[in-house]
Amino acid sequence: MSFEYDLVEGVSEEEFRQKVKSVNELKSDNDYRLASQDELQKVETILDVQKGTLNQVKFFVEKANCQKCDAELGMNDVVKTTIEDAGHSKSAILHTLVGSKYIVDRPKNIHCAHCSEVQEIAGSYASALYGCQSNLA
Q: Does 112 bind Zn ion (CB under 5 A)?
A: yes
Which one of 115, 121, 134, 137 is in contact with Zn ion (CB under 5 A)? 115
Q: Is 72 helix (H, G, I), strand (E, B) or coil?
A: strand
- Least CB distance from residue 71 to Zn ion, whole Å? 5
Number of residues that bind Zn ion (CB under 5 A): 8
Centre a 10 Å sphere on the Cβ of residue 102 and count the other Cβ atoms it contains: 19
The 32-34 sheet, strands edge to edge: 32-34, 59-62, 125-127, 130-132, 103-105
- Decide whether 74 or 107 has the Cβ nearer to Zn ion: 74
Q: Does 66 bind Zn ion (CB under 5 A)?
A: yes
Part of the chain binding Zn ion (CB under 5 A), chosen from 9-17, 24-32, 58-66, 84-92? 58-66
Q: Which letter, b or e, does each residue of 45-67 get, where b requires 16 or more Cβ atoms within 10 Å of its Cβ?
A: ebbebeeebbeebebbbbebebe
Part of the chain binding Zn ion (CB under 5 A), chosen from 1-9, 63-71, 92-100, 120-128? 63-71
Q: Is 90 helix (H, G, I), strand (E, B) or coil?
A: helix
Q: Is 116 helix (H, G, I), strand (E, B) or coil?
A: coil
Q: Does 69 bind Zn ion (CB under 5 A)?
A: yes
Q: Does 121 bind Zn ion (CB under 5 A)?
A: no
Which one of 5, 63, 114, 128 is in contact with Zn ion (CB under 5 A)? 114
Residues contributing to the site for Zn ion (CB under 5 A):
66, 68-69, 71, 112, 114-115, 117
